[in-house]
Structure 1
Amino acid sequence: MKLKNWIRRSFRNRVFATILVVTLVPLLLCDVVMMQVIVARAEHTQARQARAALDMLSQRFDEAAGQCGDTLEALATSTITRSVLRRTEPDSRLLYQFLYRSAAAVRSYANLEIYDAQGACLYSTDASLAAAPADTDWGGLYAARTNGGTVFLSTGHGLMAARTVTGYGGELLGYVTARIESSGFAQLFDGVMAPADDLLVLDGTWRTVYYTRTVQADRTVAALRSQLLAGQKLTGDEGDDCAFYTADGAAGFTLLLQQPRVYTGQVLRSLYLVGAALGILCLGLCAVAAWWLSRYLSQPVNALDDAMRQAERGDYNVQLYLDSPDELGRLAASFNRMTEEYRQNLERSVQRQRELTETQLRMLQAQLNPHFLYNTLDCMKWLGVTNHVPQIADMSTDLAALLRAGISGSELIPLEDELELVRQYLNIQEIRFEDRFVCEIDVDERYQHCIVPKMVLQPLVENAIIHGVADLEEGYIKLWAEEDGGDLLLRVSDNGRGIAPEVLDRLARHEDIPGGHLGLNNVDRIIRLYYGEGYGLTAESGDTGSRVTLRLPMMKGDSHAKGTDR
């Protein structure tokens, strides 16, 4: 938890921890995994080579056993051997010739011997050894007599194959044997094993037949036997420094190939020690690099953080100076532009607020004058009534209503109230133009309660009168309402001289229109300020007449009927 809080404490700590993890973890994983892969690969290669060598050793052992069996069978069934064993005075010369001729295939690694029925050795291919009698009630001769055929067994220092020689009537005449001593096995397996390899040949009871390490044979076999019975991995008495690979040979014999491991326990410990030392070194280097890089990256971030805190406290003159072309440098430049623009906007806002305050003061002062105007208009009204001039009274009444609507606090009014203001304005203009035009107001009842800004239709009607039908004797103006996609369209058309193309173009681009079209400019600007750029005025004009359309959002409800100050 403390480490987690430390990491979260600052941006620099997070950068430091991230860089350290990203660089160190893959490096350590690669170190450990690569070491394991190298060791596993080496052991796999060693096992494959050992299996190949063991297959060749087993093949040679099986061939030797087969050759010895065939040779003993040929000797035991030979008429010469039987006849020689029947005679009291055997012909040694003839039998030796036959013996050497029969032993040609095995003579390089095995010694052949012929015994009589009492176990006396009569002939041997090894002239250097004295002919010693053999016990017929134990060992190889006894096994040959009791089992029949050719038998193979360990002599404790080699391998012995034995077979009985019987007459045609089945009587026992003697024995023939083949012995493979340590020197014979060395000759047999020469050129197959590597110099560092050792071979162990065991019989079916796990007695030693042959071992290249003669002195250690008993100790190694005992260790292997106990490991086999315990179901453990065969390692002998040398621990994990050696590996044993087994193969089954002929006549129940087992061949074990002993090889020193490519990476012994001591070598592995040394490798792990070196790997740990490299890991510690990498940890130190990664920590230094992460600290430097986190410091390099966090400096501009900290500077930006300090600058933003100053800006929060109201100091918008703060600037960042980072001489860097990367993202942080661009971020600092953006911050400088932002604070500069904000400072300028703040100054403009203060200036606008000051101007607005002055305007409000002027408006408050201007609102003092209508009381005098209302009184004056009221006097004009009663003078018209007294002097029997009703037009003056009507004009005073309508003009007072228009002035009262213009300075009232209500900004949004129902459309029916706006149309009433238009009618009052038309009453004044009809007196002025002596009924030279007619204005038709055709607005359906369902639009009467729509909410519109006040005094937006009077400038449109005024524009149609002044710039449209003023010079006509029979002018015609029409005001009507439509609905288009949820918007309210208020249209004013006339049969006058139309609108000039330059005025249409400026109106389409929402630019100021010179030449007495101030009302159109103001209405378009008011509508777009209220509702957005999608609303406002559009105009069409032909050779005769024109049509001005005011687009507003359709808003209904009593909540806006009286209007609110905006």
Structure 2
Amino acid sequence: MRSWIRHSFKNRIFVTVLLVTLLPLLFCDVLVMQVQRARSESSLATQAQAQLNGLEQALDTTCLSYRQAAKRLCGSTMIRNALNRKTANSRVVYQLLFMETDRLREHARFDIFSSEGKCLYSTVSPLPEEERNPRWGVLYAAGQTDGLAFGKGTGQTAMTAAQAVRGYGGRILGYVVITMTSTDFERLFDGLYSATHVVILLDPTWQTIYHTQPAQAESSTAALRSQLLAGKPLTGADGEYYYFLTRNEGTGLSLILQQPKTFSSQVMDTFYTVSILMGLMCLLLCLWCAWLLSRHLSQPVHQLDEAMGEIKKGNLEIHMETDREDELGRLTESFNRMTEEYRQNLVRSVARQRELNETQLRMMQAQLNPHFLYNTLDSMKWLGVTHHVPQVATLATDLAVILRAGISGSEFITLEDELELVDRYIDIQSLRFEDRFTCEIDVPDRLQSCLVPKLVLQPLVENAIIHGVVDREDGYIKLQAEEQEGDLLLSVYDNGCGIPPDVLARLNSKDQKIPGEHLGLFNVSSIIRLHFGEKYGISAETTPGDGSCVRLLLPIQKKENNNA
């Protein structure tokens, strides 16, 4: 997989776009749902806990009132006497019973039972005929404690609480019994919880005392009872609810508030199904968009890669067509320009090499076997010395020096050595033309070490003599060197007749079709341009009646920085 990604630009774009678009989308989808669910559950849990606290407070307040009323009734001498079968006025007992249970009768019924379990007095009329067995149930629990005992009721009774009335020596004389029905609990808890919540009240043995939905009481309470006994979190029978529990240590009663989950299992299944379907749709959409984008971006890159492969094979005629106006389109156009320039440079390079070869051939033809000439001049020199003709010896010596420089292996020499060759050449021409001209050389010492191609000044001086001052008796030639913007400028001035306009135009345009009598200038210009580029070479100017000037421009090169 990693190799598949690394070796393809298209695959990298595809994977990157897919990850950048799909992962945040899926992450946000799951995260938003979970955050929303958590926030909703937290809010509902806070609300449920507040409601449970309100229910607990109402129940505790009521139970406390029941305890206090039962304690006062159990401690009454009149009630003890009545239960001890002593003379007692029933009307006075009822007055005491109703007085002690004032406002409590709204939520419960108060009865006074004998020690045998028969109801003797009650806050309701007619007197209940039910009998209770003091050896089990809530009466038995009351006999085992000094306080109020709570338990599950029977029949229509939701809860029963009882406290024993004791005589001297702790003998049980009877019981004060408090009975609450489901209707009583509804009135007690009315307005303290939401309509979607369920209130469950369990006795100390975890039997259901009250359930706001009696039809579900048996199944849900059985599940809760088993989870309580096992010490597990309360989840109910189907796990669709949250349960909040509080237990009163004094009464042993457990109060449970059942709250529906924010999202039921069916709703969550629907959410997950929708999320999966949306994820699949997003995946397909991202795959399609990523493929289109990667193809759109990688296609021109792939074409460029193939075109570069053709260039490597030597096919320089390759040309890419594109109608794009973006960066890749401009890159394609740049590639086409680069290929065209490379092809033209190659053509120019071949032409320059051919021109250099032809120039070298012409120079070799012009040398006319310099070794033979050098030997002949050496013989002429000794003949001149022998026959006492110093002019012949001087001519032969100067010409031999020039020829020796021409056949030496070095292609570049210092400007100082080049000027020495020019001096030799001027000596020869001075003897030939009987000193009808003078030559001045003005070259600064700092430029003497500059490297120049060998024998480039001699054709310029020759042109000034042959075509300039040859017909004058006061000919004047000046050779000057100067530095111009980092380049070396060599100038040869003369006071001759000037250069014809057609020849002057061709010299300044570097036209290669120069007449034969200017072959030397053409060769010098060709050598300079082949070595240093089209910027350099020969230029000329003339003033009718005042002479002409031929200039040679070439870069400054020092001997220590050149290995020629």
TM-score, normalised to structure 1, is: 0.71
**Aligned twin of 1:24:** 22
Residue aligned with 1:108, SS? coil
**Aligned twin of 1:242:** 241
Q: Is the 8 A contact 2:450 2:556 kept in 1?
A: no
Q: Is the 8 A contact 1:67 1:105 kept in 2?
A: no
**Aligned twin of 1:76:** 74
1:453 is displaced (CA, Å) by 5.0
Residues 1:126 and 1:361: Cα distance change in structure 2 (over 3 Å)? farther
Instruction: Find the partner of 2:485 among 492, 508, 515.
Output: 508
**Aligned twin of 2:468:** none
**Aligned twin of 2:378:** 378
Give the Cα–Cα distance (whole angstroms) in 2 for the partners of residues 427 and 515 of structure 1: 16
Give the Cα–Cα distance (whole angstroms) in 1 for the partners of residues 87 and 55 of structure 2: 43
Could you tell me which amino acid in structure 2 is paired with residue 324 of structure 1?
Answer: R
**Aligned twin of 2:276:** 276
Give the Cα–Cα distance (whole angstroms) in 1 for the partners of residues 265 and 74 of structure 2: 54
Give the Cα–Cα distance (whole angstroms) in 1 for the partners of residues 110 and 173 of structure 2: 17
Give the Cα–Cα distance (whole angstroms) in 2 for the partners of residues 161 and 457 of structure 1: 136
Could you tell me which amino acid in structure 1 is paired with residue 248 of structure 2?
Answer: G
Q: Is the 8 A contact 1:316 1:339 kept in 2?
A: yes
Residue aligned with 2:42, SS? helix
Give the Cα–Cα distance (whole angstroms) in 2 for the partners of residues 322 and 276 of structure 1: 42
Residues 1:51 and 1:91: Cα distance change in structure 2 (over 3 Å)? same
Could you tell me which amino acid in structure 2 is paired with residue 260 of structure 1?
Answer: P
Residues 1:88 and 1:424: Cα distance change in structure 2 (over 3 Å)? same
Residues 1:388 and 1:219: Cα distance change in structure 2 (over 3 Å)? same
Residues 1:452 and 1:410: Cα distance change in structure 2 (over 3 Å)? farther
Residue aligned with 1:300, SS? helix
Give the Cα–Cα distance (whole angstroms) in 2 for the partners of residues 395 and 248 of structure 1: 137
**Aligned twin of 1:330:** 330
Q: Is the 8 A contact 1:120 1:132 kept in 2?
A: yes
Could you tell me which amino acid in structure 2 is paired with residue 135 of structure 1?
Answer: N
Residue aligned with 2:210, SS? strand
1:355 is displaced (CA, Å) by 0.8
Q: Is the 8 A contact 1:110 1:184 kept in 2?
A: yes
Residues 1:63 and 2:61 are matched in the alignment:
yes
Residue aligned with 1:371, SS? helix
Gaps of 5+ in 2: 462-477, 495-520, 536-554
**Aligned twin of 2:291:** 291
Give the Cα–Cα distance (whole angstroms) in 2 for the partners of residues 143 and 231 of structure 1: 26
1:313 is displaced (CA, Å) by 4.3
Residues 1:233 and 1:163: Cα distance change in structure 2 (over 3 Å)? closer
Q: Is the 8 A contact 1:84 1:90 kept in 2?
A: yes
Q: Is the 8 A contact 2:411 2:453 kept in 1?
A: no
Give the 5 Å matches for 1:87-126: 88-126=86-124
Residues 1:453 and 1:129: Cα distance change in structure 2 (over 3 Å)? farther
**Aligned twin of 2:132:** 134
TM-score, normalised to structure 2, is: 0.71
Count matched residues: 490
Q: CA RMSD in A?
A: 4.6
Residue aligned with 1:115, SS? strand
Gaps of 5+ in 1: 444-450, 464-496, 534-549
Residues 1:360 and 1:428: Cα distance change in structure 2 (over 3 Å)? closer
Give the Cα–Cα distance (whole angstroms) in 2 for the partners of residues 428 and 554 of structure 1: 24
Give the Cα–Cα distance (whole angstroms) in 2 for the partners of residues 303 and 430 of structure 1: 68
Q: Comparing 256-265 with 371-380, which one deviates more in the overlay?
A: 371-380
1:378 is displaced (CA, Å) by 1.0
Give the Cα–Cα distance (whole angstroms) in 1 for the partners of residues 303 and 241 of structure 2: 64
Give the 5 Å matches for 1:389-538: 393=393, 396-397=396-397, 400-411=400-411, 507-508=484-485, 510=487, 512=489, 514-516=491-493
Residues 1:249 and 1:457: Cα distance change in structure 2 (over 3 Å)? farther
**Aligned twin of 1:144:** 142
Residues 1:207 and 2:207 are matched in the alignment:
yes
1:265 is displaced (CA, Å) by 1.4
1:342 is displaced (CA, Å) by 1.8
**Aligned twin of 1:480:** none
Residues 1:427 and 1:8: Cα distance change in structure 2 (over 3 Å)? closer
Q: Describe the superposition over 1:463-514 as per-residue Cα deviations: whole angstroms up to 9, x where unpaired.
A: 9xxxxxxxxxxxxxxxxxxxxxxxxxxxxxxxxx998xxx85x623537554
Could you tell me which amino acid in structure 1 is paired with residue 208 of structure 2?
Answer: T
Q: Identity percentage over the alignment?
A: 44
Residues 1:365 and 1:104: Cα distance change in structure 2 (over 3 Å)? farther
Q: Describe the superposition over 1:184-229 as per-residue Cα deviations: whole angstroms up to 9, x where unpaired.
A: 2222111122223222222333222222333443433332233344
Give the Cα–Cα distance (whole angstroms) in 2 for the partners of residues 427 and 324 of structure 1: 67
Give the Cα–Cα distance (whole angstroms) in 1 for the partners of residues 241 and 324 of structure 2: 62
1:57 is displaced (CA, Å) by 1.5
Q: Is the 8 A contact 2:479 2:490 kept in 1?
A: no
Give the 5 Å matches for 1:161-200: 161-167=161-167, 172-200=172-200
1:141 is displaced (CA, Å) by 2.9
1:382 is displaced (CA, Å) by 0.8
Q: Describe the superposition over 1:314-359 as per-residue Cα deviations: whole angstroms up to 9, x where unpaired.
A: 4434433322221122112212221222222222222212211211
